[in-house]
Amino acid sequence: MFICLKNVIIILILIFNLIVFSTRVHQTLKDKENPDYVEEHGPFPSLPNGRLYLGNGTYFWDDHLELAHWWGKARHKGKYIICQADLNVKKILFCDLVGCRQDMLHIKRMVGELKISHLNLGTIIEVLKEVENKKRRGDIFPFKVIRAVDDSPTSYERKEIYFTTDKKGYTSLNPVYLICLIGQSDVLLSNYKVIFPEKYVDGD
C-alpha cells in the first residue's frame, strides 16, 4: 500500500508528540517546621536573582536523594526537608541538555542567530523565553522543562570511574542533574510530598 511522504511525516510527528519523559524528582528546602503548608503549596520556585543556572523556575534534583541530602547539609546547615514528586513531560516540551544532542544543537543555533554567545546559560534561556513570547513562533523556546548536568567542582563526590586502566578518560556514575520546571504545572508534576525528615512523614 502506497503512503505518500507527507502522510509519513504527519505520522512520525504524531508519534513523537506521544513520547513522554518520566522521572522522580527531589526538592530540598529549608525546614521551617511547616510540612503541611509545604505539601499544600509546593513546589517552590527559586528566587529570580539573576544567578539561576537554567533561568527562572522551580528546581529539582533528577532522582537523586543522596544529592538532595548533600544540598540540605551544605546549603541549609543540616536543617532541611526533602520533597519528592513525579515528573512526566512530553518530549516536545522537554529541553534535555543531558541526553539529547538535538536539543543541545537547537540551543547553540538559537545562540548563534540571536548573537548572544557572550551570555551565561541562565541568561540565554531567559532571552529565548522572551523572544518566544514576543514572536510566538513556537520553535524558539517551546519548552516547559529543562535538564542539564552540573560539572562544576564541588565537595559532592561524583564517583568517577575510568573507562580503561591505561587511559585517562573517565565518566561519572553519580552525576549532578538539574531539572528546572518553568512555571507551576499539575499536569507535569504530581504526588508532591515531604519524605524527609521522618518525623513529618509519620505525622509526628
> pTM of this prediction?
0.86
Beta bridge partners of residue 20, listed in sequence order = 90
- Classify residue 156: in a domain, yes or no: yes
Predicted pLDDT of residue 137: 76
Averaged pLDDT of the chain: 88
Q: How sure is the predictor about 108, in pLDDT bands with cuts at 50, 70 and 90?
A: very high
Asked if residue 6 has pLDDT above 70, the reply is: no
Burial 73-112 (b: 16+ CB within 10 A, else e): eeeeeeebbbbbbebebbeebbbbbbeeeebeebbeebbe
Question: Is 8 a residue whose pLDDT tops 90?
Answer: no
Residue-wise pLDDT for 13-27, tens only, equals 555 556 889 999 999
Asked if the structure places residue 86 within a domain, the reply is yes
Which of 43-47, 115-119, 200-204 shows the highest mean pLDDT?
Answer: 115-119
Residue 13 within a domain = no
Which residues fall within 8 angstroms of residue 69, CB to CB, at 6 or more apart?
A: 28, 82, 196
Per-residue pLDDT of 142-191, as tens digits, reads 999 999 999 888 778 888 888 998 888 989 888 999 999 997 776 789 99
Please name which of 146, 119, 152 lies closest in space to residue 50, comparing C-alpha atoms: 119
Lowest mean pLDDT among 53-62, 100-109, 132-141: 132-141
| In a domain? residue 20 | no
pLDDT for res 178: 96
Domain count, the chain: 1
Asked whether residue 143 is domain-assigned, the answer is yes
For residue 22 the three cell numbers come to: 518520566
Q: Is there a domain that residue 7 lies in? A: no
| C-alpha grid cell, residue 58 | 522551580
pLDDT in tens, 67-92: 999 999 999 999 999 999 999 999 98
Q: Which residues of 48-57 are buried (b: 16+ CB within 10 A; e: fewer)?
A: eeeebbbbbb
**Residue 10 falls within a domain, yes or no?**
no
Residue 9 domain-assigned (yes or no):
no
Q: What share of the chain has pLDDT > 70, as a percent? A: 89
Peptide bond into 43 cis (omega under 30): yes
Residue 122: which domain range? 26-201
